[in-house]
Amino acid sequence: MKRWLLIGVLALVGLAWAQQRGGSLTIAIQTEPAAWDPTQVAGADISRVVYDNVLQGLVKRNPKGEIVPSLATRWVVSNSGLTYTFTLRQGVKFHDGSDFTAQDVLAKFNRARNPDTRASGHLRPDLYRDIANITSPNPNTVVFSLRQPNNDFLFILSRPESLIGPRQRPLAEQRVQPIGTGPFRFAAWERGVAVRLERNPNYYVQGLPYLDRVNFRFLGDGDAQLAGLRAGDLDVIAYSLLPENAVVLSRDSNFKVFSGSGTAEAVAGFNNSRPPFNDVRVRRAITLATNKDELIQGAMLGYGTKIGSMRSPGEACYVDLSNFNAYNPDEARRLLAEAGFTNQNPLRFTFNLAAEFPYERRIGEAMVAQLNRLGPLQVTIQVTDFNTWIQRVFSQADYAMTIIGHVEANDIGNYANPRYYWRYNNPRFQQLFTQYLRAPNQTKACEALAAAQRLLAEDAAGVWTMSLPALGAYRARVQNWPDGFLSPGISVAEVWVRQ
């Protein structure tokens, strides 16, 4: 009897804990973005803060990477794959009190597909070019008509670029204080310090969120993050926890360390349009001169998974090419000599690093050391802040080589865009990616995507050093932290803290 009474008491305690509301959470993120609207400005930390916390789309990706309803409650796809009909959630309000309606959806996606980005202020109109028109036959329904089938269309609607704000909201205001429909409203941006989100009392999911406030603090230094967590100034290091600090925290019962596989590839990218990186022999030589196993063990203490193309193991249609173009310094020297570069006439170039990202910076520094050991390569490092990197490298392609973590799932398609900062222009790859998009079934789609992965590896279009770990830690009082790492956002609507 006492045993069952004890079990009942414990169950009630657990239920009481689960019902606790209020309190605040402080989360460390690496960078301070220049703006907070991912439809206007690129940057993973923008999405980490606002995706499904502040701004929402018709659909979303949950922490396990599944596409699930958000502002649409259901959808139907026609047999032809050309018509997507969405039923909208009713009774939803934006944070400014205005109603979310079908007209907001139409305005958003007409803006998104406008090829004149200066007029629209919207990123990536190429994502939406298959949309022929968008209509609303009644106030609760939106219909997308496509020019041709697109197997990625639902995924595109789950991207941060597809988040929806009020149609009357000026873009300049949305950049600095986004208004959405999510469980939290964007309350304040203390530049150089943090952003603060506050509970949305009118959120359409009853009982959520649990927290009153969430602070996202800009703190890129790994040791400062560790000190802040130990001192209680931080509750969570959401990602990019230094491997050595993970070891330290795992020995302390006051903290929980989490580790998993995500979709972030650490890509050492070439400017494929700039000589001599337009020569496949040079690109292949640099790949062969890179010892990925050494990078994983040395720079990352074993955290990370070796890959050989632009795909992480957890993604659909993944092909294991991790041993393709395996480390072979002798063959690297031979290819460089064939391209005209020797110890006496070395290839000299600059390798750009963004200061705020510890994983990519230490991987890049270790990789440059490997390249410089080869002989025919003389590589110097240039470190800039991330906003400068965005402007110079990402926007203007003013670089030779760089490394950055590409966290978005299914981003292999960026190689099909010749204007993307890699400046990779291969008609055969573009054809394969189109075949993937238009394939009549999953089997055919995976066949095309597998061929595309192999082509990138054969062409050495980049050096895909590893799939980065999803590595972080939080204080033991934090409850219900997401158990997956495949969403663009750090979703905290269902997170609560033990008081």
Q: DSSP secondary structure string, 241-302? A: --HHHHHHHHT-TTEEEEEEEEEEEEEEEE-TTSTTTTSHHHHHHHHHT--HHHIIIIIHTT
What are 38's two structure tokens?
Answer: 């991912």
Domain presence at residue 4:
no
Cis peptide before 201 (omega within 30 of 0): no
Domain presence at residue 246:
no
Looking at the structure, tell me whether residues 106 and 155 fall in a common domain: yes
Structural domains in the chain (count): 2
Looking at the structure, tell me whether residues 485 and 398 fall in a common domain: no
Q: What's the Cα-to-Cα distance from 425 to each of 413, 418, 477, rounded to whole Å?
A: 12, 5, 50
User: What's the rounded mean pLDDT across residues 457-483?
Assistant: 95
Domain presence at residue 14:
no
Specify the pairing of strand 377-384 against strand 401-406. unpaired
Q: What's the mean pLDDT when you consider all of the chain?
A: 94
CATH number of the domain encompassing residue 342: 3.10.105.10
Domain presence at residue 122:
yes
Domain presence at residue 47:
yes
Domain presence at residue 481:
yes
Cis peptide before 38 (omega within 30 of 0): no
Looking at the structure, tell me whether residues 374 and 481 fall in a common domain: no
**Residue 11: is its pLDDT beyond 50?**
no
What's the pLDDT band for 467 if we cut at 50, 70, 90?
very high
**Residue 256: is its pLDDT beyond 60?**
yes
* Residue 18, pLDDT score: 53
Listed in sequence order, the residues at least 6 apart from 123 whose beta carbon sits closer than 8 Å to its beta carbon are 38, 39, 40, 41, 42, 117, 161
Q: Which pLDDT tens digit goes with each residue over 193-235?
A: 999 999 999 999 999 999 999 999 999 999 999 999 999 999 9
Alpha-carbon span 124 to 102, nearest angstrom: 22
Do residues 289 and 329 touch, judged by C-beta distance below 8 A?
yes
Looking at the structure, tell me whether residues 183 and 290 fall in a common domain: no
Q: Which pLDDT tens digit goes with each residue over 399-455?
A: 999 999 999 889 999 999 999 999 999 999 999 999 999 999 999 999 999 999 999
**Residue 3: is its pLDDT beyond 70?**
no
Listed in sequence order, the residues at least 6 apart from 111 whose beta carbon sits closer than 8 Å to its beta carbon are 120, 121, 122
Q: Which among 374, 385, 299, 384 has a CA at the least distance from the CA of 350?
A: 384
* Residue 261, pLDDT score: 78
Looking at the structure, tell me whether residues 161 and 87 fall in a common domain: yes
Domain presence at residue 245:
no
Domain presence at residue 249:
no
User: What's the rounded mean pLDDT across residues 138-163?
Assistant: 97
Q: Which pLDDT tens digit goes with each residue over 58-100?
A: 999 999 899 999 999 999 999 999 999 999 999 999 999 999 9
**Residue 15: is its pLDDT beyond 50?**
no
Q: What's the Cα-to-Cα distance from 35 to each of 38, 164, 264, 387, rounded to whole Å?
A: 8, 16, 22, 10
Proportion of the chain above pLDDT 90, given as a percent: 90
Which helix (H) or strand (E) segment holds residue 443: the answer is: helix 442-459
Looking at the structure, tell me whether residues 448 and 491 fall in a common domain: no
Looking at the structure, tell me whether residues 34 and 92 fall in a common domain: yes
**Is 120 exposed, middle or buried (CB count within 10 Å of its CB: 0-12, 13-18, 19+)?**
middle
* Residue 305 domain boundaries: 261-470
What are 332's two structure tokens?
Answer: 């690297």
CATH number of the domain encompassing residue 117: 3.90.76.10
Looking at the structure, tell me whether residues 175 and 321 fall in a common domain: no
Looking at the structure, tell me whether residues 493 and 423 fall in a common domain: no
**Residue 4: is its pLDDT beyond 70?**
no
Looking at the structure, tell me whether residues 279 and 405 fall in a common domain: yes
- The residue behind tokens 């110890």 is 343
Looking at the structure, tell me whether residues 155 and 282 fall in a common domain: no
User: What's the rounded mean pLDDT across residues 365-381?
Assistant: 98
What's the pLDDT band for 8 if we cut at 50, 70, 90?
very low
User: What's the rounded mean pLDDT across residues 471-499?
Assistant: 93
The string of DSSP letters for 199-215 reads E-TT-SSTT----SEEE
Looking at the structure, tell me whether residues 170 and 266 fall in a common domain: no
